Amino acid sequence: MTAEQNERTLEESIVTDLKDRMTYGSYLDLDRLLGAQHPVSKPEHHDEMLFIIQHQTTELWLKLVLHELGTARDRLAEDDLRAALKHVARVKHIQEVLTQQWSVLATLTPTEYAEFRGALGNASGFQSVLYRGVEFALGNKNERMLGLFRDHPENLALLTAEWERPTLYDEFLRLVARRGLPVPQEILDRDVRLPYREHPELVDAIRVIYENPHEHWDLYEACEEFVDVEDNFQFWRFRHLRTVTRTIGMKVGTGGSSGVSFLQKALELTFFPELYSVRTEIGR
């Protein structure tokens, strides 16, 4: 094969005069996006670019997760469960990408990270407003987190809106109640600004769905989709924990947390407790 043969011919119809036209770069604002990596280590450490891009891409995916969860809640409030589940399905695929990304950061060895970690100051993923927004949207609300963003009005407004808004589970349970299933009124009237707590009496309503799947197929499917979301979230948390463990061991986090032990505690949190409790009751 000659060099000439190993070259793709540029089709005549391809637009090459891009003056005064929208381009790929301008549409995606790539000048800003690709210019947003600013290593702070002196001299600049090679692996800091990996660290920055890993976290920036995570933030972009979290922004999309929150966007999808917002629309999913809108559709649930409109009794359009099928449309809501389309957005939930997209969230699940994003979660898979987020979890797989940890394998890239895990290539950063303890020695390499130690060479620029000190330059990060108190910057920490704990301070991610989008991560907190996703947790709030799924039910793990904590008013104290709002204080982290008191000096950033835009982020504070975003997180406050999520704190005051019903969670994905709240909207689903309201839909279940409108379908005539016995959701306790206490749940329907709860203060949505509080973290969701398990209500054992709700398990009976969830059990009706699971034991009569053909009669409540879309609700049954939704329950399993939500369990997928929680499982994926836990896998993400676990991979985070393991990546941190292999990179910094038991050191204190840059944001002041206890590090690994702090992340370990997050594995005990749950968004949809009754969807797990019902499994103990089915078939009894």
Q: Return the sign of the alpha-carbon dihedral for residues 165, 222, 135, 65.
A: negative
CB count, 10 Å around CB of 124? 13
Segment 250-264 shows an average pLDDT of 73
CATH of 42-249+259-280, one of 1.20.58.480, 3.40.50.11290, 3.20.20.70, 2.60.40.60: 1.20.58.480
The C-alpha atoms of residue 204 and residue 233 are separated, in whole angstroms, by 26
Known binding positions: 51-55, 113, 117, 240, 254
125 or 3, which is more confident?
125
Task: Find where tokens 């060895």 sit.
Answer: 109
Q: Which residues contact 111 (CB under 8 A, 6 or more apart)?
A: none
Task: State the pLDDT at residue 267.
Answer: 76
Could you give the percent of the chain with pLDDT greater than 70?
Answer: 96
pLDDT tens digits, 143-183: 999 999 999 999 999 999 999 999 999 999 999 999 999 99
Task: State the pLDDT at residue 259.
Answer: 73
Residue 4 has pLDDT above 90, yes or no: no
**Distance (Å) of CA 86 to CA 82, 147, 214, 233:** 7, 34, 20, 18
Task: State the pLDDT at residue 258.
Answer: 67
Known binding positions for substrate: 51-55, 113, 117, 254
Per-domain boundaries in the chain: 42-249+259-280
- Work out the mean pLDDT of the chain and round it to a whole number: 92
The C-alpha atoms of residue 188 and residue 199 are separated, in whole angstroms, by 12
HSE value, Cβ hemisphere, 13 Å, CA-based, for 114:
9
Reported as type and span, the H/E element at residue 236 is helix 217-248
pLDDT tens digits, 50-105: 999 999 999 999 999 999 999 999 999 999 999 999 999 999 999 999 999 999 99
The C-alpha atoms of residue 169 and residue 66 are separated, in whole angstroms, by 14
CB-neighbour burial class of residue 137 (10 A; exposed 0-12, middle 13-18, buried 19+): buried
Known binding positions for heme: 240
pLDDT band at 253 (very low <50, low <70, confident <90, very high): low
Segment 33-42 shows an average pLDDT of 96
